[in-house]
A = this chain, B = another copy of it.
Amino acid sequence: MEQKYSEAGYGKYEVVFGDRPAVVVVDFQNAFTDPQYPTGQSELLHAAAKRTEHLLAEARALNIPVIYTVVGYREDPLDVGNWKTEISWIGIDSHAAQVSANLKPEPLDPVIIKKYPSAFFGTELVSMLTLRKIDTVILAGCTTSGCIRASIVDSFSYGFKTFVPSDCVGDQSIEQHEANLFDVKARYANVLTLNELISLMHQKSETTV
């Protein structure tokens, strides 16, 4: 299968890490990280949240901005739009809509409340990135086959160099996680391990000093 794609020209180019990265942490909120919730059961996702703690420690040490998103809904039935999944139970002010305690934002970090898959859709994320002169977006969070996939496509489309540490994004199943990373890697973003990414982040940091 991979051959078909490479013969058609997919995955031919690499994305080069830029000068000013930011980390966007998508939907690592209790609804997905806390096993008390129906969507909070996945070990793959828990492991990705755990790895993201390391990513954030590195980012903060290098003064790389961190922006969070969560999903949350008002009681208005129209607020959930046309979602086919049961999601309206994540109340906008509920525990389920809070960023997971281990990944807690610092006081000035933006936490964007969104309704739809992409971190960019119906939010001021692109303005936040422009104001910070960001050229490179690192995406962590969940789920790979939902909001991460959608956020990657928009990050790429807005012109950001997009990097996805595969062990910092998680899903309900490993099959859909991998199928989506395959698509993304062939078209939109560099997919690499957190260790490889940290190494890039440090190289860049040494260059700019």
Contact = CB atoms under 8 A, between A and B. Distances in A.
Interface in A121-140: 121-124, 126-133, 135
Count of this chain's copies in the oligomeric assembly = 4
A109 B107 CA distance: 30
B82 A159 contact: yes
A78 interface: yes
A183 B176 contact: yes
Contacts of A83: 13, 187-188
Interface in A148-201: 149-150, 153-154, 156-162, 172-173, 175-176, 179-180, 182-183, 185-189
Most buried by B among A7, A11, A154: A154
Given A12-B84, A85-B11, A159 B131 contact: yes
Contacts of A179: 175-176, 179-180
Interface residues of A, number: 77
Contact of A82 (B38, B109, B162): B162
B75 A107 contact: yes
A84 to B, nearest CB: 5
